[in-house]
Amino acid sequence: MKRALIATFALAALAVSGSASAEDFGQYWHDGLAELDGYRLSVDRYGQTREGYAVMIYVTEPFSDSKRVKVNDHTRNPSDVVDVLKLNLVRDFQTGIYDYNTMTSVFVRASDFDPLKVTFSSAEWCGHVYSEMVFRDRIDGFFSSYFEDESGSFQIDRQRNAVSEDNLFILLRGLRGEFLAAGQSRKILLLPSAYHSRLTHRPVEYIEATISRAKGTEQTAVPAGSFETARYDVSAGKDRSGSFWIEAAYPHRIVRWSLAPDVGELTGTARLKYWSLNGNGDERYLEEIGLAEMVKK
């Protein structure tokens, strides 16, 4: 059933190989729906592999350039409104008696995917953590933690060749054109994700990294089925390396990723107005993204 849904969706949604265009982006992303992608998640935490699930929610929305929040009425002050693509990446996993519930929100300008804001929250039985980074001429951020001496504000200079790790989940999809040509590599400064920084208790600061794209495509088998994918390899610093497998056909969904501390494998995908599916019984839509059984656990 899930594989049939994936195949039907892929044919219906601009299933063309090669470079994406502005027309592709507009047809797919401004249709009043959100893209929901479910994943089987494995996380290395406390020296052991933990099983869980993840959901990526991609949607366009009007955003205030001055306030850096979603606007209620985009016609009231149109000069302040920016069209953004938002990614909410939810990760839930169990660690013994208690679980982790985390979410990263990435807001990028839809025209060029330049980051405008990244927020992160984590809730588990020991307490709450929240962080926020606002991207302007520099990055202004703050971190609030239940651990002593971890909370406070910070500023980071914006570097020309820098990429936010959180934004890789958008950039590598090539929604307006390929991030790299096949066989190409690019050296960057990588700003580690708030998620990684939280789990490792490291400050958010640039590290040297290299992103490379494999020369050809390969078949990648995941719970949702088998996909033709382009592989991007990421080498970040001395102790982190991994890969992203990106669907070759538009909309170039992330089929699999493996970058410490976690691995995600696509379980299903859907285009839905999820914000209206909050009634008793709407849990059935979790079947479409392959997470009904995982969420029940």
Residue 7 has pLDDT above 50, yes or no: no
Of 40, 60, 104, nearest to 254 by C-alpha is: 40
How does pLDDT run across 267-278, given as a tens digit for each residue?
Answer: 999 999 999 999
Averaged pLDDT, 214-229: 98
Residue 162 has pLDDT above 90, yes or no: yes
Q: Which amino acid is at 53?
A: Y
| CA–CA distance, 45 with 49 (Å, rounded to integer) | 6
| CA–CA distance, 98 with 127 (Å, rounded to integer) | 11
Averaged pLDDT, 213-220: 98
Taking residue 279's Cβ as centre, other Cβ atoms within 10 Å add up to 7
The structure tokens 């080498």 sit at 235
> What's the distance, Cα to Cα, between the start and end of the chain in Å?
21
Residue 261 has pLDDT above 70, yes or no: yes
How does pLDDT run across 174-192, given as a tens digit for each residue?
Answer: 999 999 999 999 999 999 9
Residue 34 has pLDDT above 80, yes or no: yes
Half-sphere exposure of 37 (CA within 13 A, CB side): 25
Per-residue pLDDT, 5: 41
Per the CB < 8 A criterion, the answer to whether 254 and 173 are in contact is: yes
Of 60, 6, 12, 11, nearest to 175 by C-alpha is: 60
Structure tokens at 5: 């849904």
Per-residue pLDDT, 4: 36
Taking residue 79's Cβ as centre, other Cβ atoms within 10 Å add up to 6
Per the CB < 8 A criterion, the answer to whether 252 and 173 are in contact is: yes
Per-residue pLDDT, 21: 57
| CA–CA distance, 244 with 258 (Å, rounded to integer) | 6
| CA–CA distance, 109 with 63 (Å, rounded to integer) | 9
| CA–CA distance, 28 with 10 (Å, rounded to integer) | 12
DSSP letter at 77?
S
Domain extent at residue 66:
2-296
Residue 2 has pLDDT above 50, yes or no: no
Averaged pLDDT, 56-68: 97
Residue 19 has pLDDT above 60, yes or no: no
- Run of H or E including 214: strand 207-222
**Which position has the higher pLDDT, 248 or 7?**
248
3-class secondary structure, 61: strand
Q: Buried b vs exposed e over 48-71: b needs ≥16 C-beta within 10 Å?
A: eebebbbbbbbbbebbbeeebeeb
Domain count, the chain: 1
Per the CB < 8 A criterion, the answer to whether 224 and 248 are in contact is: no
Q: Which amino acid is at 266?
A: L
Average pLDDT, the chain: 91
The model's confidence at residue 20, banded by pLDDT at 50, 70 and 90, is low
The model's confidence at residue 6, banded by pLDDT at 50, 70 and 90, is very low
Residue 280 has pLDDT above 80, yes or no: yes
Q: pTM of the entire structure? A: 0.91
What percentage of residues in the chain have a pLDDT greater than 70?
A: 92
